[in-house]
């Protein structure tokens, strides 16, 4: 069940962000930040890139990167929710959950 949740969080933000980018009233800075965070998350699933992009296992840099992306996703979810950009806000919340799962996995493993 946890694996299904992880893959759902892994894949769900990408189509939502593509849908948010396709609308005419988009917010390019906020959407760019979310897209870069999603690309970083997807890229970190490749084992050889994870050490380069996020940091080595159990390092302070790894957890600082994960925590920074969690805070960033929450802040953008709140901001986009206030601005009534519901699709992008949903993508930010799912991305936040994905980073939380990545932090949990890196803590345990």
Q: What is the pLDDT of residues 53-93, one digit of tens each?
A: 888 888 899 999 999 999 999 999 999 999 999 999 999 99
The per-residue pLDDT of the chain, averaged, comes to 88
Number of structural domains (the chain) is 1
Higher pLDDT pick, 21 / 1: 21
Examine the pLDDT at 5 and tell me if it is beyond 80: no
Could you tell me the two tokens for 100?
A: 């939380």
- On whether the CB atoms of residues 81 and 27 are closer than 8 A, the answer is no
Examine the pLDDT at 10 and tell me if it is beyond 80: no
**Which of 19-23, 46-50, 62-66 shows the highest mean pLDDT?**
62-66
- On whether the CB atoms of residues 21 and 92 are closer than 8 A, the answer is no
Q: Quote the domain boundaries for residue 62.
A: 2-108
Examine the pLDDT at 2 and tell me if it is beyond 70: no
Question: E strands of 59-108, at which residues?
Answer: none
79 vs 34: CA distance, rounded Å: 12
């Amino acid at each position: 069940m946890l694996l299904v949740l992880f893959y759902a969080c892994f894949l769900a933000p990408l189509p939502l962000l593509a849908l948010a980018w396709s609308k005419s009233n988009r917010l390019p800075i906020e959407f760019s930040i979310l897209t870069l965070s999603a690309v970083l998350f997807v890229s970190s699933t490749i084992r050889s890139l994870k050490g380069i992009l996020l940091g080595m296992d159990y390092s302070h840099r790894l957890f600082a990167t994960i925590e920074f992306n969690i805070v960033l996703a929450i802040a953008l979810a709140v901001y986009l929710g206030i601005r009534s950009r519901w699709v992008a806000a949903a993508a930010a919340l799912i991305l936040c959950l994905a980073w939380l799962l990545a932090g949990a996995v890196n803590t345990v493993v």
